[in-house]
Amino acid sequence: MFRFLISRTFFINLLIALALLGGLLWYSLRFLEDYTLHGQTITVPDLSGFAEEEVGAFLAERKLRYKVRNIIYDVNKPRGTVLDQDPEPESQVKENRTIYLIVNASETPKVPVPNLVDETMRRAISILETRGFKLGEIEVVHDHGNKVVGFKYNGDTISAGFKVPKGATIDLIMAGGLGMEEVQAPNVIGLGLEEAILNIKTSSLNVAPPRWDQETIITSSDTMNAIVYKQHPVHGKNLIKQGSYIILWLTMDAQRIPADSIAASDSSGVSTPE
pLDDT score, position 170 = 95
pTM for the whole thing? 0.55
SS3 state of residue 262: coil
Give φ, ψ of 68 to 5 degrees.
-80, 115
pLDDT score, position 270 = 37
Report the C-alpha gap between 215 and 231 in whole angstroms. 18
Rg from Cα positions in the chain:
35
Residues (pLDDT < 50) of the chain are: 178-179, 265-274
SS3 state of residue 5: helix
* Eight-class DSSP state of 207: E
Q: What is the mean pLDDT of the chain?
A: 83
pLDDT score, position 67 = 94
pLDDT score, position 268 = 36
Name 192's bridge partners.
Answer: 227
Buried b (16+ CB within 10 A) or exposed e, 234-244: ebeeeebebbb
Beta strand 245-251 with 206-207: parallel, antiparallel or unpaired? parallel
pLDDT score, position 54 = 93
The H-or-E segment that residue 59 falls in is helix 52-60
DSSP E strand boundaries for 87-241: 92-93, 98-104, 110-112, 134-141, 148-153, 156-158, 163-165, 169-175, 182-183, 206-207, 211-212, 227-232, 240-241
